[in-house]
Amino acid sequence: MNILAYALHLGIAGHGPIGGGFVRFIEILRRAKNHGVNYVVIENKPSFKKLYHLEYEAYEIETRVSKSHHISLLTLLIKAVNLGVKRCQQGDIDLIVSPLDQVFNVFPAYFTSKLTGIPWTVVLQGVPVYWHLLGESTCQKSTSKFRDIYSFFKREAQKRGTTTNPIIASMAYWMMYKIIRSTIVLSVNQSITEDLSIIDKKLKVITCEHGNAIDFQRIIKVSSSNAKQYDIIFPSLSPYKGIFHVLEALAFIVKEVPKVRIAICGIGTKYTIEKVKEKLKDKRFDTNLTFPYGIGKGPSTQEDLWSLMKKAKIMLYPTMAESWCLIIGEALACGLPVITYDIRPIRYIYGSCPAVIRVPVGNIKELAAKTIELLKNEELCQNLSCVAVKFAEQNFSWDEVVKDEKKAYLTVMKALKYAYS
User: What mean pLDDT comes out for the span 60-83?
Assistant: 80
CB 250 within 8 A of CB 278: no
Q: What pLDDT sits at residue 153?
A: 81
Q: Which helix (H) or strand (E) holds 42?
A: strand 38-44
Q: What angle do CA 19, 41, 187 make, to 5 degrees?
A: 50
Q: How far apart are CA 290 and CA 127, in angstroms?
A: 33
Q: Of all residues in the chain, what percent carry a pLDDT higher than 90?
A: 66
Structural domain that includes position 264: 216-396
- pLDDT bin (cut points 50, 70, 90) of residue 65 is low
Q: What pLDDT sits at residue 59?
A: 96
Total number of domains constituting the chain: 2
Same domain, 221 and 206: no
pLDDT, one tens digit per residue, over 190-240 is 988 988 888 888 999 999 999 999 999 999 999 877 778 999 999 999 888
Q: What pLDDT sits at residue 130?
A: 66
- pLDDT bin (cut points 50, 70, 90) of residue 13 is very low
Q: What pLDDT sits at residue 140?
A: 44
Please report the sign of the dihedral spanned by the C-alpha atoms of residue 103, residue 107, residue 110, residue 116: negative
pLDDT, one tens digit per residue, over 74-119 is 888 999 999 999 999 999 999 999 999 989 999 999 999 999 999 9
Provide the mean pLDDT of the chain: 89
DSSP 280: T
User: What mean pLDDT comes out for the span 307-325?
Assistant: 93
Q: Please determine, for residue 70, whether its predicted confidence score (pLDDT) is greater than 80.
A: no
Q: What pLDDT sits at residue 159?
A: 65
Same domain, 54 and 200: yes
Q: Please determine, for residue 16, whether its predicted confidence score (pLDDT) is greater than 60.
A: no
- Which is more confident, 134 or 250? 250
- pLDDT bin (cut points 50, 70, 90) of residue 328 is very high
Task: Please state the pTM of the whole predicted model.
Answer: 0.90
Same domain, 195 and 306: no
Same domain, 224 and 333: yes
Q: Please determine, for residue 353, whether its predicted confidence score (pLDDT) is greater than 60.
A: yes
CATH code, 292: 3.40.50.2000
User: What mean pLDDT comes out for the span 369-380?
Assistant: 97
Q: Which helix (H) or strand (E) holds 382?
A: helix 378-395
Q: Which helix (H) or strand (E) holds 340?
A: strand 338-341
CB 322 within 8 A of CB 20: no
- Which is more confident, 290 or 143? 290
Same domain, 140 and 257: no
Same domain, 200 and 220: no
Same domain, 82 and 191: yes
Q: How far apart are CA 394 and CA 241, in angstroms?
A: 26
Same domain, 165 and 279: no
pLDDT, one tens digit per residue, over 117-171 is 999 999 998 887 765 444 444 444 557 888 888 887 887 776 665 566 888 888 9
Q: What pLDDT sits at residue 131?
A: 55
Q: Which of 88, 91, 1, 87 is closest to 37 using CA atoms? A: 1
Same domain, 220 and 74: no
Same domain, 208 and 220: no
If 0-12 CB within 10 Å is exposed, 13-18 middle and 19+ buried, where does residue 91 land?
exposed
Same domain, 205 and 230: no
Same domain, 65 and 104: yes
